[in-house]
Amino acid sequence: MSKEILAGIDLGGTNIKIGCFDSGLRLLARDSVPTEAHMSAKVVVDQLGAAVNRLVQGLGKGARLVAAGIGSPGPADYKKGIIFQCANLPTFKDVPLPQMLSERLHCPVAFDNDANVACYGEFVAGAGKDVQDMVFFTLGTGIGCGIVSNGRLIQGATGNAAEVGHMIIFRDGRQCNCGQRGCVEAYASASSTARRAMEAIQAGRPSSLKGLLEEKGQITSKDVYEHLAAGDMLAKQITDETARALAIMCVNILHTTDPARIVFSGGMIAAGQVLLDRIRYYFQQEIWRLKKETVEIVFASLGEDAGIVGAAAMAKEKIGL
């Protein structure tokens, strides 16, 4: 008997995560392969296709790939299916990725922004599975976002909606890598949290992080939160500023889309309850008083699987399975 298989693919600059799922989105097999980002787009797609086919074949006789979904960093025209360029995939310029992958796998391919795909994974199977309206943020090198409204992803005219990390929260604020000033991302991503701590130490602020910076030449947001737990006052100031920026972002997105749940994911949530509690605290400080808000602010539940689950769910939806 034929077993219909859905593939979910999370395309990263270093590794590609792949999951094979049944029609009920039950994970059957997984793999991770190097992206080989220095190679041409054709080589990357060929290697990716081969890895997916190997995984499907490993599921035994009768396993048949019926659709695949892939989440990719941008910028891209996700409706037309073209990656314009990508910092972590330097050879990808005007690449029709879903078309190329569809030709390689001989099946339909759903394609979307990696943050949207992870958002959709949490929506269908994770922290948002019991609501119809949610906002998803991932805190890493930058701040990615996905928005579900009335059970549907908000994608915009070219599929580039929900770039909420580039919402300006401080006029004439810190320079962001995007070219704007005052973006949330310039204050509250994992990398900017670490950067602000380093700048403060270099400006002469006392901190237990100073020795670590001198030893390693850099510090991470993980280091900042570890020194917060040890009572360092600079770490407390930096992490409070991060939490306040994220809370302001939550207030703004609440007034924009009215979600039932706001979900945070990404490497920085390893900081744990102290991060979540401070976001919630500053949210209550910043929000209006016209009515009591019931939105929940929580951590994601799928971890690194959100991308492959969401991609498989999009594949399932594409073929109406």
- Can you tell me whether residue 296 is helix, strand or coil? strand
Count of beta carbons in the 10 Å neighbourhood of residue 66 = 18
Sorting pLDDT into bands at 50, 70 and 90, what band is 74? confident
pTM of this prediction exceeds 0.85: yes
The sign of the CA dihedral 131, 301, 113, 8 is negative
Q: Answer yes or no: is pLDDT of 255 > 70.
A: yes
How far from each other are the two terminal CA atoms of the chain, in whole angstroms? 17
Q: Exposed, middle or buried by CB within 10 Å (0-12, 13-18, 19+), for 160?
A: middle
Q: Answer yes or no: is pLDDT of 155 > 90.
A: no
Q: Answer yes or no: is pLDDT of 135 > 90.
A: yes
Homologous superfamily of 130-301: ATPase, nucleotide binding domain (3.30.420.40)
The proportion of the chain whose per-residue pLDDT surpasses 90, expressed as a percent, equals: 83
Q: Is 3-122's fold the same as 130-301's?
A: yes
Please tell me the least confidently modeled range out of 23-37, 50-64, 72-86, 146-160. 72-86
* Residue 20 identity: C
Q: What is the DSSP string of 186-235?
A: HHHSHHHHHHHHHHHHHTT---THHHHHHHHS---HHHHHHHHHTT-HHH
Please tell me the least confidently modeled range out of 5-14, 236-245, 296-305. 5-14
What are the residue boundaries of the structural domains of the chain, listed by start?
Answer: 3-122, 130-301
Give per-residue pLDDT as tens, 188-227.
Answer: 999 999 999 999 999 999 999 999 999 999 999 999 999 9
Q: How far apart are CA 273 and CA 6, in angstroms?
A: 35
Q: If you classify domain 3-122 with CATH, what class do you get? A: alpha beta
What single DSSP character describes residue 129? T
The proportion of the chain whose per-residue pLDDT surpasses 70, expressed as a percent, equals: 99
